[in-house]
Amino acid sequence: MELPFAESWKIKMIEPIRKSTRQEREQWLKEAHYNVFQLRAEQVYIDLLTDSGTGAMSDRQWSAMMLGDESYAGATSFYKFEAVVKQLFGMKYVIPTHQGRAAENVLFSSLVKEGDVIPGNAHFDTTKGHIESRKAKAIDVTTDKAKDTQLEYPFKGNVSLEKLEKVLTENKGKVPFMVLTITNNTVGGQPVSMENIKDTVNLCHKYNVPVVMDSARFAENAYFIKTREEGYKDKSIKEITKMMYEGVDAMTMSAKKDGVVNMGGFIATNNKEWFEGAKLFCIPFEGYVTYGGMNGRDLNALAEGLMENSEYDMLHTRIHQVQYLASLLDEYKIPYQRPAGGHAIFVDADKVLTHVPKEEFPAQTLTCELYLEAGIRACEIGYMLADRDPVTRENRFGGLDLLRMAIPRRVYTDNHMKVVAAALKNVYDKRESITRGVAIEWEAPLMRHFTVQLKRL
């Protein structure tokens, strides 16, 4: 008999979690203005808000922390971390930052100016925020294949080379770089193929435009290349990673995802001028260039996390769990962005809450319903997150309206996934009776979804 799948680790420490009653949740959600970011974590039973900074560190990471060197400048922890980044990504210059958006802030402060245009395959919201707040424009060049959630295509995170070339030809001299995000979070944790990475880099370089890789989930992207793309099945994740970065000019990294640390990030580049430029902003914003907003012990944990999470078994365990949740949704016929992405399942709220008009934010409404049903906190990656157009101030209803259930790394078991799927099924079964959504009572001018206050209609 073939042995079944099992996790490539065992559990050494646990944290109790608590269920609540529907009555309690109704009260809490009202107090949170129907925005799950405003809930207290202890009001949540299973927390799928994000896979960012929520992973469980390994015994090796915790023990590496004890060897942290907290010297202000030139700590051993920095050199250990720098060596790992150089080894994995083949980049020459490395600057630590306290998280991904800090890396964006530091690098973009030196590179982005008013009137610039920055194409990307669905910029993450902080990335877009750092572009738009500098009065530059972020243009999405993701393949249209990502728009059809029911289409089975292995690399829905890909760049449309036609869209990219159009932006490059129409904006000559105004494009300081292109952002290539792997995996493409916004369209569903969907990977970018090696072929598409190479084509994108070559096309950009043809126009003398450098490429910055937004690398938060680089290891999951490498896993999908290994398992889905012809010619990579015998290569290790580390070999594939190295290949993905060949020719890439720089990377910004939120280490809170595939670095499996609770806080951390970095910039790495092969461009000496960019390195010198970024250093100038690192010092005032983040700190001296060998710690850049991080503790020495955290740099040690990150070095270890990057090495162990770029091993096949670790990634297989993780993606297997995401795919397990997807298989339960298949059983219940609940529509999500297919095939399952790397870090999350993105439920197609437009296809679930068909009676809720887009002006009433279906995915945001589904987020509320799932929380009320079982204390599960997911998040909206849809019309609320899309914000308003910076010029017209109109809501941007052009993209997908998704409920993201992000799965923290090494935290929940498959039994938790069963609870999540059952709760979602219960909501799905009563979808016909949900006819009204939410309305905005207050919103911030930028990145409104974190703090928006809503009322239930």
Residues that bind ligand F0G (CB under 6 A): 50, 52, 99-101, 124, 126-127, 181, 185, 214, 216, 254, 256, 265
Rounded Cα distance between 440 and 236, Å, is 48
Mapping DSSP to helix (H, G, I), strand (E, B) and coil, where does residue 120 land? strand
Return the number of the residue (119 or 360) whose C-beta is nearest ligand F0G.
119
| Alpha helices, DSSP H, located in 157-271 | 161-170, 194-206, 218-228, 237-244
117 and 137 Cβ atoms separated by less than 8 Å: yes
77 and 94 Cβ atoms separated by less than 8 Å: no
- What is the closest distance, in whole angstroms, from the C-beta atom of residue 181 to ligand F0G in the complex? 5
Catalytic site residue from 32, 146, 216, 219 = 216
Is 214 noted as a catalytic residue in this protein?
yes
73 and 290 Cβ atoms separated by less than 8 Å: yes
Return the number of the residue (139 or 434) whose C-beta is nearest ligand F0G.
139
Catalytic site residue from 214, 249, 258, 401 = 214
Q: What is the CB neighbour count within 10 angstroms for residue 66?
A: 8
Return the number of the residue (43 or 52) whose C-beta is nearest ligand F0G.
52
- What is the closest distance, in whole angstroms, from the C-beta atom of residue 256 to ligand F0G in the complex? 5
Rounded Cα distance between 372 and 423, Å, is 10
Is 414 noted as a catalytic residue in this protein?
no
- Please, is 411 exposed, middle or buried when counting C-beta atoms within 10 Å of its C-beta (0-12, 13-18, 19+)? middle
Is 216 noted as a catalytic residue in this protein?
yes
Nearest 5°: CA angle at 381, between 397 and 228? 110
Mapping DSSP to helix (H, G, I), strand (E, B) and coil, where does residue 142 land? strand
Is 33 noted as a catalytic residue in this protein?
no
Catalytic site residue from 123, 128, 256, 257 = 257
> In the block, which residue shows the tokens 């319903």?
369
Catalytic site residue from 45, 78, 124, 223 = 124
Catalytic site residue from 47, 69, 125, 350 = 125
Is 257 noted as a catalytic residue in this protein?
yes
Return the number of the residue (187 or 427) whose C-beta is nearest ligand F0G.
187
Residue number with the smallest Cβ distance to ligand F0G:
100
Return the number of the residue (267 or 434) whose C-beta is nearest ligand F0G.
267
- What is the closest distance, in whole angstroms, from the C-beta atom of residue 172 to ligand F0G in the complex? 27
Residues known to be catalytic: 72, 124-125, 214, 216, 257, 449
